Structure 1
Amino acid sequence: MLQQSSAALASVFDRASEDYDRTGAAFFTPLGRRLVEKARVEPGSSVLDVGCGSGACLFPAALATGPKGRVVGIDLAPGMVGRARRAAESQRLGNVSVQLMDAFRPEFHGARFDFVLSSMVLVWLPDSAEVLERYRPLLNPGGRFAFCNPRLTGQDGIPFVPEIFGTVMESVGVHPKTFFEDLDNGWLGAPDAALLKAGYTGIEVCDETYSLELLSGEDWVRWSWSHGFRSFWERVPQARLGELEKEVAEGIDLLRDSDGVIRIPGTVRYVSAST
């Protein structure tokens, strides 16, 4: 499985939108909050959140910029846009707006922002290095583009993914490891050169460890269905799906620590650069 077309990606995340960030596994929200911190979003600033999902980065950005600022979220999945809009309305955040838009083809026609943020999104985009060039004109002079993605080390397998998942997928001809190896060989593994080529300066790269904490293997399976990983599950023959979900869950249950919690580690790479 390589990076998917915009239409296919929209369909995957639209199907995931109802459960996205709602499975009880703290993941997208803390990472989105951390990205806002790393980007140093300032009060009164204008912010664009690329691939906003249900608001994991969008709402921390709105809090950081305050009522005098402006935060715009874009997502290509209608279900995600609907969830984010409803959440903004329920929180009475007048400084937040959400638009249906392809992250690979931003259309703002002259609008500019102080910050462009993207949390755990670029990893899914086709030719994501080109995205860097497309967003630079949307930044004000001195503005910052900041993003985060899982970081492959080349030794520890797929971040936040237990080995049993890869083994089970391989048994039915689905290859998640290959997908992530392709990414590690690309620009995400060493973003400095791509950012410099796109005209950015002041590049900062920071790797931080994070553990996905769960109470059961079934929790991990539910979590994996709630975002882009469902692309792998959906390639499993339907007749074997339940059997393989159970096998993965039981294998993950064996990873439980002495306190009863399952911790699946990974590294997140935070990158920021200025115009």
Structure 2
Amino acid sequence: MKYPLFALLLVALAAPVAAQTPPVPAFQFKCEDHANTQLRKTYCETRDLTLPAPPAGTPLSVDARLNGSITVRGWAGATVRVRALVQASSGELADARALAASVRISTSGHQVQAARANGSLDDWGVSYEVLVPTNTSLALHATNGGLRLENVQGTIRFETTNGGVQLLNLAGDVRGKTTNGSLALVLTGATWDGTGFDVQTTSGSIRCEVPATYAATLTARTTNGRVKASLAPATRKQLLPRSLMATFGKGGPQLRLATINGSIEVQQPAAGSSLAPGKE
């Protein structure tokens, strides 16, 4: 009778530890059906990787160049989890499959990047979905692909050439740009937690959603476009056709938005109401 009692004691001791383990969010990236033609076939596969989180002060670098997008989401775990979606195309499906197999993904030195075995950049691309501990600094690079960042705090730098950028519930020191693409930002909480952000696009619109009660200072400028703002009555602002300076609450961290060829829209609901992301 001693052994069953001892086993039950072990289970009882282990249960609280198991309960503290955060659930792993499910990856959202998956291969889609492609409309193959007689001349072109596309093959897709996913690869899941786990690597240690970078130490404080060291960014996790994700490079999706030449053809690929990046999605980063913060989670309560202590490791970095990556899903790489590898796509390749060729005249024959077997050749496309072989091309995808030749793509090598490196994760050394807290850098995630891919390369084809023979060095060619043609006819293949890798997109990344990355789950990181919430407090993780990032350095993200893409060329032909969009960026999406959610629930991350740290020193964040990003750049893409042809792709839109979505920033949701971020904090820290965030700076980045896209050349041909729009920017969408959703702020949360009572204020920006950190230094602030400075984001810009060359050819694209910007939309920023601010909570009804917030504390920060925002500057928005466009060269060839218009600035539109729908702000809570208590928000102090100076709105001109191509610029906006707004002080939310008592002010605070500096938030900067800029575009050259595009419009800017800043939305803030009145106190007591809410604004659903992406909705008027």
Q: TM-score, normalised by structure 2?
A: 0.24
Q: TM-score, normalised by structure 1?
A: 0.24
Tell me which protein shows more strand as a share of its residues: 2
Query: Looking at CA atoms only, which structure, 1 or 2, has the larger radius of gyration?
Result: 2
| Higher relative contact order, structure no. (Cα contacts within 8 Å, ≥ 6 residues apart) | 1
Tell me which protein shows more helix as a share of its residues: 1
